[in-house]
Amino acid sequence: MKIISWNVNGIRAASQKGFLPFIEAATPDILCIQETKAHDHQLEDALLNIPGYSAYFHSGEKKGYSGTAVYYKTEPLAIRTGLSDPEFNNEGRTIIMEYPDFILYNVYFPNGQKDAERLAFKMDFNRCIQNDVQELLAAGKNVIVCGDINIAHREIDLKNPKENAKRSGFLPEERAWVDDFLSIGMVDSWRVQHPEAIKYSWWSYRFNARANNAGWRIDSFFVSENFMSQVDSTDILDEVMGSDHCPIVLTLK
């Protein structure tokens, strides 16, 4: 089973930049999209009804902002949205799909760059999802959390760590949260399989960042430790254009 996660930075914009041909060529079993920036009623039929796929959208209350979606070939046992605390559920950030062997979270984690209040919201959101996942792990469930994490965990995960040490996305408290999240029994699947590799998943639109590969690895598949044995491969498709992020891939055995 191939699962792809991609922050498309606006699904309507991405549709003009090769989104549908990418799906046709990549043939994911599940495609998790973040930052759709649209409600489903605003989308053309070609985006709502991709041949071979069912679709589910979770849009935010604010139009043109945030939002997640999933396209899938196999019907899940259940599909739901949101975290346990309703405070975090009005921006369309989370879709949860339950399959026989695992529970998949498609998450657009908040960005904390706006101000201190937004950073606090981000950290509270992160702690809430950590608690939710920990409960599932305690119940013996296999969990996959994918999406735009909006945090580069270690210095190897961004081009210019020293210059960004005081920028949200690489703050000490954000990086410490990733440590906390991994400590509950989750692993960063790509880093497990590629311990020394340098590859990025997001580049600023400014300063020719992508052309210079001055990026950040802020998109991830976190997998419960016991389920990592079922992961065949992971990849970052940094050659795929269409957004300021590129798709990432998790293939299960």
Catalytic machinery residues: 148
Please, what sign has the CA dihedral across residues 200, 171, 114, 120?
positive
Bridge partners (DSSP) of residue 78 are 98
Distances (CA, A) of 201 to 83, 105, 149, 166: 25, 19, 11, 20
Rounded to whole angstroms, the Cα distance separating 97 from 118 reads 27
Contact 131, 184 (CB under 8 A): no
Distances (CA, A) of 182 to 38, 52, 104, 134, 223: 32, 35, 16, 10, 9
Bridge partners (DSSP) of residue 6 are 33
